[in-house]
């Protein structure tokens, strides 16, 4: 396996910045405030696991022209100085009296221009990673400044992946596919979901994943009832259907797909549901053409699921965007209608209840190119694997 | 190693609820809105890795009396039904038109009583995990309802750990200490920071950690300049000082401590700084008595660092609370002044620059008991280990 180079050329960040500044111009925004790990890393290249500590806020401002500006705790200064960012202001955090807010306020005021408008992510799938009270103080101090949602333009830029981004996602998809191939020899009846999942996590690390922060499983006689809980201490038994879903990471980019296994034997309904979900994925893949929409992809999969006897779906969608987060905008739903274009990476995730309380969920990762869709993950087996 | 049982008795959740409801009564709050993974798990026992997907919001309301109430996406319903929560409302998410907000609004209105007050976490170390636009709509629709900060009372409850919580933290601390002992035999000159850290992660999983989501390293000739970036591709060389800091997890509870190593040989300044930080930890430990404050602990450590020739500290504090998050309130600073009591778990984290741009940071985890402090981590070596 050829390992993609880590990090990006500065031109990658310049491209991202140029694209968002064009949309800011169209939206008449003077600056955008970024507070989350992913948004900050995407525009600056500042890569740290330290956002797992909720203590300190981190601020980056995208101006209408020129490079992003960082207002961050001193603990991050030496790291930020190694990125392409020049304008870095720091304060000693945590400081309950003024945790960077007066410094941030002053910087925003210096960037507000004729539009008198600051962009802040406000809509679905966005979060403000700073104390709410500090945000309210900030906004009340920005007199005469309009606050507009920046989420819709930020997500539009991240939606289309560059060649370098796709290489990283492809790598973690291929590596994880190899892990799933090896997993068939590692799964054990008589051991718990947790023990089986931990072996998979160790296998993925040994294969070269940076991390595998999301490994979830469900299992039960004939089928499972949830795909987001677990792994639990439940012991895997003969006749169980077992799902493992993983978001593993290489150089900040995720894969997100699952595999299903039966142990010893399995009911015919589960075998049939597996085939239905497999065929739904095929149909979704064919619909992944530039110019089509996420709703076309949804409808292609949903038709197969409905004809295959689906009793419903608790997931609320049939796949989603993928990149620096386990799930990204958009969603494959009946009403999403986002137009696909080359460079878009999606998960195809057809799922259905095939008996009351028993679900079957498949998932693959794909990228859209000028010549149609390409699989990033190695396709699941076309019949439900039964581990003997 | 005896592995603590997973999960908690229902009485653990009842105790937490009783405590917060007493403080809500004193604060005249009719309900508190919870949106984050940790707050929701703390009061309901709903344990899922799925919060890594930013797509869907999750809501739990703590009423002034009675059990917490969940308003969550259907994808989580079967999982929430396995907790002690009875009142569970669901909607099919993601739904851009109304992602649970009208359901949440109606439930809040039903809980608002004579105080006409809703608590929302607003202050330092808290985040609102829901779209800001939805929050603004919610607040504007709650006419006549005062919104008060709930963070100060929520953190007060989580500050003091139960016997069952301490057992989990002690377990991950002991297991990680064992990992650091084994690490001395696993570290390799001529390999990168990343390769060395990945071996440590695999070691911790093999020893029984659920996960090791935070493994950060720094290294350099004579010393390192940051403790929050990395691991990088930098190759470890003779004469380097190397730090690994880890937050590993058992059953949702963290350890957070580091270890320092030199390779081949090391300058005298680094050896001396190691001793200073070691002695600062000893002094901090002795100050960890019920009735003392976090500032007493800070001052005890800071005195030793200053006398030992500290050139400064970029971290902004000398340790912090620890539990379900890598870092929790409070902070060991000169002005924090939080009074310590039995059941409080802290990190002691003395750090200083000993040459320009070269830092030495130690860290241990302790718990405060009626009879004084106890180490949870196995104490670091009293002299800087030099790997030959």
Q: What is the pLDDT of residues A66-95, one digit of tens each?
A: 999 999 999 999 999 999 999 999 999 999
CB–CB of A55 and B247 under 8 A?
no
ipTM over 0.90: yes
**B388/chain A closest Cα distance in angstroms:** 26
* pLDDT for the residue numbered A313: 83
Residues of chain B positioned with their CB less than 8 A from the CB of A229:
47-48, 50, 78-79, 82
Cα–Cα distance between B267 and A355 in angstroms, integer? 68
Residue A40: CATH number of its domain: 3.40.350.10
Digit-coded pLDDT (tens) for A320-334: 999 999 999 999 999
pLDDT at B61: 98
Does B327 reside within a domain?
yes
Quote the DSSP letter at residue A76: G
pLDDT of residue B339: 98
Q: Which of A108, A125, A158 is the last residue of a domain?
A: A158
Facing A316 at nearest CB: one of B94, B201, B216: B94
B281 touches A at CB < 8 Å: no
Q: Which of B74, B227, B317 sits opposite A314 (nearest CB)?
A: B74
Residues A169 and A92 in one domain: no
Give the end of a domain, one of B125, B158, B191: B158
Q: Which chain B residues are Cβ-neighbours of A74 within 8 angstroms?
A: 314, 316
Asked if B149 is an interface residue toward chain A (Cβ–Cβ < 8 A), one would say yes
pLDDT of residue A96: 95
Same domain, B17 and B104: yes
CA distances from B60 to A164, A229, B77, B157 (A): 40, 18, 13, 17
Q: Give residue A312's pLDDT.
A: 84
In a domain, B3, yes or no: no
The answer as to whether A2 is a domain residue is no
**B51 close to A (CB below 8 A):** no
Residues of B in contact with A48 (CB under 8 A): 216, 228-229
Provide the CB-side half-sphere exposure for A211 (13 A, CA). Answer: 21
Q: Determine how β-strand A386-387 pairs with β-strand B31-34.
A: unpaired
Q: Do B132 and A128 touch (CB under 8 A)?
A: yes
Contact in structure between B352 and B311 (CB atoms under 8 Å): yes
Element housing B355 (H / E): strand B351-355
Considering the domain architecture, whether residues B131 and B254 belong to the same structural domain is answered as: no
B75 — contact with chain A (CB < 8 Å)? Answer: yes
Q: What are phi and psi of B171, to 5 degrees?
A: -60, -50
Q: Is position B1 within any domain? A: no
Shared-domain flag, residues A199 and A252: yes
Torsion angle defined by CA atoms of residues B155, B157, B158 and B160, in that order, rounded to the nearest 10 degrees: 120
Residues A95 and A218 in one domain: no
Query: Are residues A285 and A348 both part of a single domain?
Result: yes
Shortest distance, CA A57 to any CA of chain B (angstroms): 8
pLDDT reading at A205 higher than 90:
yes
**pLDDT, tens digit (0-9, with 9 covering 90-100), for A278-307:** 999 999 999 999 999 999 999 999 999 999
What is the C-alpha to C-alpha distance for residues B318 and B178, in angstroms, rounded to an integer? 24
Check CB contact under 8 Å for A52 and B198. no
Cβ of residue A50 closer than 8 Å to a chain B Cβ: yes
Domain with A282 in it: what CATH number?
Answer: 3.90.230.10
By residue range, what is the domain housing residue B75?
Answer: 10-158
Ordered DSSP codes for A229-279: S---SPBP-TTEEEEEEEEEEETTEE--EEEEEEES---HHHHHHHHHHHH
Closest CA to B84 of B100, B70, B74, B72: B70
| Contact residues on chain B for A56, CB-CB shorter than 8 A | 316
Of A309-318, B71-80, B87-96, B140-149, the range with the lowest mean pLDDT is A309-318
Q: What are the two backbone dihedrals, phi and then psi, of residue B307, each rounded to the nearest 5 degrees? A: -65, -25
Structural domain includes residue A248: yes
A315, A267: one domain: yes
Q: Between chains, do B131 and A127 touch, taking CB under 8 Å as contact?
A: yes
Q: Is B130 on the interface with A (CB under 8 A)?
A: yes
Q: Mutate which of A95, A121, A127 to disrupt the B interface (most B C-beta within 10 Å)?
A: A127
Q: How many domains does chain B have?
A: 2
Tens-place pLDDT, residues A210-250: 999 999 999 999 999 999 998 999 999 999 999 999 999 99
Place of tokens 């039995």: B342
Q: In whole angstroms, how far apart are CA B46 and each of A234, A240, A321, B181?
A: 17, 24, 26, 34
Q: How far is B374 from chain A (nearest CA, A)?
A: 24
Asked whether residue A305 falls in the same domain as residue A323, the answer is yes
Whether residue A338 sits in one domain with residue A194: yes
Q: How far is B279 from chain A (nearest CA, A)?
A: 23
Q: Among residues of chain A, what percentage have pLDDT more than 90?
A: 97
**How far is B321 from B330, CA to CA, in rounded Å?**
5
Supply the pLDDT for residue B109: 98
Tokens read off for B193: 């920071």
Chain B CB contacts of A133 under 8 Å are 122-123, 149
Q: What is the pLDDT of residues B256-293, one digit of tens each?
A: 999 999 999 999 999 999 999 999 999 999 999 999 99
Residue ending a domain, among A158, A174, A194, is: A158
Tell me if A5 is assigned to some domain: no
- The answer to whether the Cβ–Cβ distance between A94 and B331 falls below 8 Å is yes
d(CA A147, CA A140): 11
Mean model confidence pLDDT for chain B:
97
Q: Is B372 on the interface with A (CB under 8 A)?
A: no
pLDDT tens sequence across A118-164: 999 999 999 999 999 999 999 999 989 999 999 999 999 999 999 99
User: Could you say which of A74, A82, A126 has the minimum Cβ distance to residue B131?
Assistant: A126
- Which chain A positions have a beta carbon within 8 Å of B315's beta carbon? 75
Our CA-based measurement puts residue B5 at a distance from the nearest CA of chain A, in whole angstroms, of: 11
- Any CB–CB contact under 8 A between B173 and chain A? no
Residue A104 included in any domain: yes
- Among candidates A130, A216, A327 on the partner chain, residue whose Cβ is nearest the Cβ of B55: A327
**Would you call B50 and A315 a contact, using CB atoms and an 8 Å cutoff?**
no
Question: Does any domain span residue A331?
Answer: yes
Average pLDDT, chain A: 97
- Contact assignment for B214 to A52 by CB distance below 8 Å: yes
Question: Which residue of chain A comes nearest to B38, CA vs CA?
Answer: A54
- For residue A255, the model assigns a pLDDT of 98
Residues A307 and A378 in one domain: yes
Model confidence over B171-185: pLDDT tens digits? 999 999 999 999 999
Indicate if the pLDDT at residue A1 is higher than 90. no
Chain A nearest-CA residue for B228: A50
Are A190 and A315 contained in the same domain?
yes
B96: nearest CA in chain A? A124
Of the candidates B52, B247, B316, the beta carbon closest to that of A326 is on B52
Average pLDDT over residues A356-368: 97
A140 and chain B: CB distance < 8 Å anywhere? no
- Distance (Å, whole) CA B342 – CA B160: 7
Flag whether pLDDT at B366 surpasses 90.
Answer: yes
Q: Residue A276 and residue A282: Cα distance in Å, rounded?
A: 10
When CB atoms are compared, the residue of A48, A75, A326 closest to B315 is: A75
Percent of chain B exceeding pLDDT 70 equals 100
Looking at the structure, tell me whether residues A82 and A171 fall in a common domain: no
The order of strands in the sheet holding B372-375 is B328-331, B320-321, B345-348, B364-369, B372-375
* Residue A186 contacts B where some CB pair is shorter than 8 Å: no
Query: Exposure string (b/e) for A322-360, b if CB count within 10 Å is 16 or more?
Result: bbbbbbbbbbbbeebebebeebbbbbbbbbbbbeeebbb
Sheet with A345-348: strands ordered across:
A328-331, A320-321, A345-348, A364-369, A372-375
């Amino acid at each position: 396996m050829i390992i993609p180079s880590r990090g990006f050329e500065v031109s990658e960040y310049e491209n991202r910045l140029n694209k968002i500044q064009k949309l800011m111009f169209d939206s008449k925004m003077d600056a955008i405030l970024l507070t989350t790990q992913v948004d900050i890393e995407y525009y600056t290249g500042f890569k740290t696991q330290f956002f797992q500590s909720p203590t300190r806020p981190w601020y980056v401002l995208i101006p209408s022209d020129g490079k992003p500006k960082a207002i961050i705790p001193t603990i991050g200064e030496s790291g930020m100085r190694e990125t392409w960012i020049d304008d870095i202001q720091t304060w000693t955090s945590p400081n309950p009296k003024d945790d960077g807010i007066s410094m941030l306020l002053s910087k925003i005021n210096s960037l507000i221009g004729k539009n008198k408008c600051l962009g802040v992510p406000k809509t679905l799938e966005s979060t403000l990673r700073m104390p709410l009270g500090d945000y309210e103080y900030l906004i009340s101090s920005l007199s005469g400044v309009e606050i507009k949602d920046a989420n819709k333009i930020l997500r539009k830029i991240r939606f289309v992946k560059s060649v370098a981004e796709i290489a990283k996602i492809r790598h973690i998809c291929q590596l994880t596919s190899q892990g799933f191939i090896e997993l068939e020899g590692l799964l054990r009846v008589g051991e718990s979901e947790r023990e089986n999942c931990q072996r998979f996590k160790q296998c993925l690390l040994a294969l070269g994943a940076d991390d595998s922060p999301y490994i979830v499983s469900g299992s039960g006689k004939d089928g499972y009832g949830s795909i987001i809980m677990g792994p639990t201490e439940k012991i895997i038994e003969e006749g169980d259907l077992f799902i493992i879903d993983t978001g593993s990471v290489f150089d900040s980019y995720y894969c997100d797909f699952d595999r299903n296994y039966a142990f010893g034997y399995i009911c015919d309904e589960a075998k049939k549901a597996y085939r239905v979900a497999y065929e739904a994925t095929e149909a979704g893949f064919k619909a992944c053409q530039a110019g089509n929409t996420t709703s076309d992809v949804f409808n292609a999969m949903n038709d197969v699921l409905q004809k295959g006897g689906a009793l419903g779906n608790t997931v609320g969608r049939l796949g989603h965007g993928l990149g620096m987060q386990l799930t990204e905008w958009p969603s494959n739903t009946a009403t999403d209608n986002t137009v696909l274009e080359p460079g878009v990476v999606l998960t195809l995730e057809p799922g259905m209840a095939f008996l009351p309380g028993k679900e079957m969920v498949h998932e693959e990762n794909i990228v859209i190119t000028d010549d149609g869709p390409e699989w990033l993950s190695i396709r699941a087996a076309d019949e439900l694997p039964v581990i003997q």
